[in-house]
Structure 1
Amino acid sequence: MNKNEQVNISIPKRAFDKLYLNNGGKNKLLARIDNNRIILQAKETKTEAQTQSLRWFMVPGLLAGFVALVNFFIQKTDYVKLSGANSISQITIYLAALFGFITFLIALLLLGRKQLVITSRLAKFRSITTLSIAFTLLDFSLTSYFFYFVDLAFHGVILDRYTSSALIAGFVGIASYLMMNAAQSIDFSTITTILIFTLVGGIFFSMINNKHEDWWQINFSYLGSNLSNNWWQFNLTLIFSAMIMLTLIDYIFSLIFQIPQFFNTQMKVLRLLLAATSIVFGLVGAFQNNRSIIWLHELHWWSANALVILVLILIIGLKWLLPNATREFLLTAYGFAGLLALSEILFQTVHYLSLTAFEIISFSLSFGLLILLMQNLNTLYIENAEIFTVEIK
């Protein structure tokens, strides 16, 4: 075959219709070869890419710079410190969070709608709101840590109001652009990553900010009890993590239910059990472990036990609920169940584990199993969705 000769390929129209083409209706695709694969994607001109990048960078940045400058005039601040009250870092952190939230929300609605395939309006509204808040918190945390290290490197720097406003505009513009890219990259891995970051980061933050250094000698639940000075951070972490988990469940099952062979009773029951597990997990945080209020403590205790029961039901019913599960996954799930039983024996019977160690081990195993189950469901979708024969002419 001549090297300059053209080869045509054809794909089913039902698959082509799902492509998000934003190139003036020309239906042109960009093809590239990557690791012995041909990847097709919507063709975007260089001008369109540059326009989109500038729009999402400059508009929030210029608005943030204008707000900062007006603030400095109102506060009659001629020279601005790098850190502290009404400083470059403080204003940037707050404005980056504000404009980042707005940018992410708009970008998700306009650009990421093809990734967020959830069909239910209520579920989509909840998912969009949850993801926007989650990424805003991530944006807030990363910006705060960034300026913490900048202040260490340039401690004591003072700049005039115009230079300070320009720097704030630049930092906010970069943060908003990154948030726009995040909204376009919503998929299973992204939602899972933000879930792990929120849960682990929130719990770790509650640990290091607890004024009682020996809290771990009592139990893990102490972080969310009324005896802890920052109980609300721990409980809010559990509630918000449960909301992200619900978003992940809605996302993956919206994909799976597009495949007729998986739209069955077993999958519906599995989704119901996973949703119930997420809700009960959130209730553990919603009902504070407050022993001075009996009914509140009782609800917390019942929620925690219900969470364990639901996880055990999931493990026991996996072979029926997920008949396509691999032998390795089932053995792993049963192994997790065995470790949960072993930790129970080491705590209740042998008294080798402390209550804190038992709670941390049980929580880590249960959460790890849920993530593995969701990963297995995502793999199930990838292996069975939109597989078709491509004809080469």
Structure 2
Amino acid sequence: MVENKQIHLSFPKKALNKISLKDGDQIVARIENDKIILQPQPSKDSQNQSLRWYLLPAILAGVISLINFHLQRVKSVSLSGADSIAQLAIYLSTAFGFITFLAALIFLSSDQFPINNRWAKFRSVVTLSIAFTVLDFAFMSLLFYCIDLAFHGVILDRYTSSAIIAGFVGVSSYLMINAAQSITFSAMSTVLIFTLIGGIFLSMIMNNHANWWQINFSYLGSNLSNNWWQFNFTLIFSSLIMLTLIDYIFSLIFKIDTFKTVRMQTLRWLLVGTSISFGLVGVFQNNRSIEWLHQLHWWTSNLLVIFILIIIFGIKWLLPTATKEFLFTAAVFAGLLVLSEILFQWVHYLSLTAFEIISFGLSFAWLIILMQNLNNLYIEKSETFIIEIK
């Protein structure tokens, strides 16, 4: 190919329609890691509007901080402690982060956030906003913990402190808006994993019984544990994120006519049933002193297992387009679940805690892999295009 010679790319019309491009619009192309990345050129108006969204929370946070210091008659502000830079920055970043993420997610187009059902969209928007806000709070807390270690004992005047707080809130809002605007299946599944695993580990660490693991895994959510609400809330909130993932991926899949089948609808409702059962395990506390509550916990736990087993053993019928590799993966997971049951019930090699953790880990991993496969299925059928070079 002659150097500097112009070439032309031929795009399918439906590909341009997906990103709302028309004749005469310009596309920005850049080379990154031996790949050519094409994207619409952002308009100046959209850039200015985004800048205002980032600056507004920062300015408001700075003003609120300054007013607070004046009302508290604080002239010198410490880095950590009560009425400190860290405290106000974390609280204001969390508050403005939730507001900006919620607003950005609401105004996304149906192509970016394809859930159309009003109730499902409301639930999904609120759930994701809370989930990302919790991550924002955790990140800011960890950040200021590290800053305090590096600059312990620093004291600044209230004007400088307000400016620093404004800067942190601005950066936090920037990250939250970008997270909302680039919401994807991968981002939501990552949040689900962090929420579930993080919540469970915190429950383990903060539990008042050092040898809880000698009883069973369910002990963390029972009335015998001092922070049972944290474990159960983790299960409930994780189930809501899982429901959002299910709504998101099937809203995309059902855009393709060949996937609007009874089998795919059945798979969706089985996944919804799995998610609801998972949440109900947290709703109904494992409290043996209240028999009906313990029984409901036991039944919902078994219902969760039944849903997962139906999906695993019925995946060949439910998802006839599944590859041999994916079906083999399903068989491996089924075999491991059966093996863990044998090692616990008959061989007595596994303890109850080990059996519950292994079964839970395998089931959760299987559900993530299944939904990832569904997402890849949509991408292969709808998001992949052949571009001809002329």
1:43: which partner in 2? 41
For 2:74 and 2:178, how far apart are their aligned partners in 1?
35
Contact 1:72–1:161 at 8 Å: present in 2 too?
Answer: yes
Which segment is superposed worse, 196-205 or 338-347? Answer: 338-347
Counterpart code for 1:28 = Q
For 2:235 and 2:367, how far apart are their aligned partners in 1?
15
Q: Unpaired segments of 5 or more residues in structure 1?
A: none
1:27: which partner in 2? 25
Counterpart code for 1:195 = L
Q: Tell me by how many angstroms 1:20 deviates.
A: 4.1
For 1:392 and 1:163, how far apart are their aligned partners in 2?
56
For 1:15 and 1:328, how far apart are their aligned partners in 2?
30
Cα distance per residue 1:110-165 (max 9 Å; x no partner): 34653211122221111111111110000011111111121222222222211111
For 1:122 and 1:159, how far apart are their aligned partners in 2?
48
2:165: which partner in 1? 168
For 2:16 and 2:233, how far apart are their aligned partners in 1?
43
For 1:43 and 1:242, how far apart are their aligned partners in 2?
38
Where 2:18 maps in the other structure, the secondary structure is coil
CA RMSD of aligned residues (A): 2.0
Contact 1:112–1:185 at 8 Å: present in 2 too?
Answer: no
Q: Unpaired segments of 5 or more residues in structure 2?
A: none
Q: Does 1:258 align with 2:255?
A: yes
1:13: which partner in 2? 13
1:187: which partner in 2? 184
Counterpart code for 2:124 = S
Contact 1:66–1:165 at 8 Å: present in 2 too?
Answer: yes
Where 1:17 maps in the other structure, the secondary structure is helix
Q: Tell me by how many angstroms 1:26 deviates.
A: 5.7
1:100: which partner in 2? 97
Q: Does 1:380 align with 2:386?
A: no
For 1:155 and 1:255, how far apart are their aligned partners in 2?
50
1:206: which partner in 2? 203
For 1:172 and 1:94, how far apart are their aligned partners in 2?
9
Contact 1:270–1:321 at 8 Å: present in 2 too?
Answer: yes
Where 2:37 maps in the other structure, the secondary structure is strand
Counterpart code for 1:330 = L
Which segment is superposed worse, 311-320 or 328-337? Answer: 328-337
Contact 1:252–1:377 at 8 Å: present in 2 too?
Answer: yes
Out of 125, 128, 131, the position equivalent to 2:128 is 131
Out of 353, 368, 371, the position equivalent to 1:371 is 368
Q: Cα gap change, 1:145/1:36 in structure 2, threshold over 3 Å: closer, same or farther?
A: closer
2:234: which partner in 1? 237
Q: Tell me by how many angstroms 1:48 deviates.
A: 5.0
1:85: which partner in 2? 82
Cα distance per residue 1:252-298 (max 9 Å; x no partner): 11111111111111111000100110010000001111111111111
Identical residues among aligned pairs (%): 66
Where 2:314 maps in the other structure, the secondary structure is helix
2:353: which partner in 1? 356
For 2:350 and 2:142, how far apart are their aligned partners in 1?
36
Q: Tell me by how many angstroms 1:29 deviates.
A: 2.0
Q: Tell me by how many angstroms 1:326 deviates.
A: 1.4
What TM-score, normalized to structure 2? 0.95
Counterpart code for 2:360 = F
Contact 1:112–1:183 at 8 Å: present in 2 too?
Answer: no
Contact 1:65–1:165 at 8 Å: present in 2 too?
Answer: yes
Counterpart code for 1:32 = R
Where 1:353 maps in the other structure, the secondary structure is coil
For 1:197 and 1:228, how far apart are their aligned partners in 2?
22
Contact 2:110–2:116 at 8 Å: present in 1 too?
Answer: no
Number of residue equivalences = 390
Cα distance per residue 1:151-195 (max 9 Å; x no partner): 222222222211111111111111010001101111111011000
Q: 1:246-325, aligned counterparts within 5 Å?
A: 246-325=243-322
For 2:327 and 2:4, how far apart are their aligned partners in 1?
51
Counterpart code for 2:266 = V
For 1:13 and 1:348, how far apart are their aligned partners in 2?
59
